[in-house]
Amino acid sequence: MYMEHGGGRGGRIVRRVAGAVVVAAVVAGMVSGCSLDGSDDSGASGDSGASEMDRAWQENYCRELGSWQRARNSATEEGAESDAVPDGDAVVSAARQLPSAAYEGAGDDGSMLDVTVMAVRGDTNAEGEAVAYCAAAGFETLTR
């Protein structure tokens, strides 16, 4: 009779255990690698298997790269002096935040950080690699 009404100490224990089971199930579902974007782990896309946080860092990198490109192009078109061209600190900082798995797309030139530093120093091939990285990650529209 005591347990039937869910009151007292026994009822509290049952509610706590049930709550813990629900929390464990939610966490297990999140950790199991369920993907909301429909991607699979076949490797067909440049970012399969990337976590949501990794994707956010990739998007941030590509957004910063595009912003730097637009600012550089604008300064160049206006005939600005070389010191008016943006230095690229924000895009280099964003490259430092990329997940280590993202560095695999950097090609023979090293990490995406290395590629980014070369790009902001004026290496057009490195800039092309950075843009290709963003395209493979699905963020090509964020770059020039």
Q: What are the tens digits of pLDDT across the range 60-105?
A: 999 999 999 999 888 877 665 555 667 899 999 999 998 765 555 5
- Residues with Cβ within 8 Å of 96's Cβ and at least 6 positions away in sequence, in order, are 113
When pLDDT is cut at 50, 70 and 90, the band that residue 7 belongs to is: low
Interval 21-42 mean pLDDT:
47
Q: For residue 4, give both structure tokens.
A: 């039937």
Interval 4-21 mean pLDDT:
57
Q: For residue 117, give both structure tokens.
A: 């530093």
Write the CA distances from 140 to 20, 33, 44, 48, 134, integer angstroms.
Answer: 43, 25, 17, 16, 5
**pLDDT tens digits for 56-65?**
999 999 999 9
* pTM to 2 decimal places: 0.59
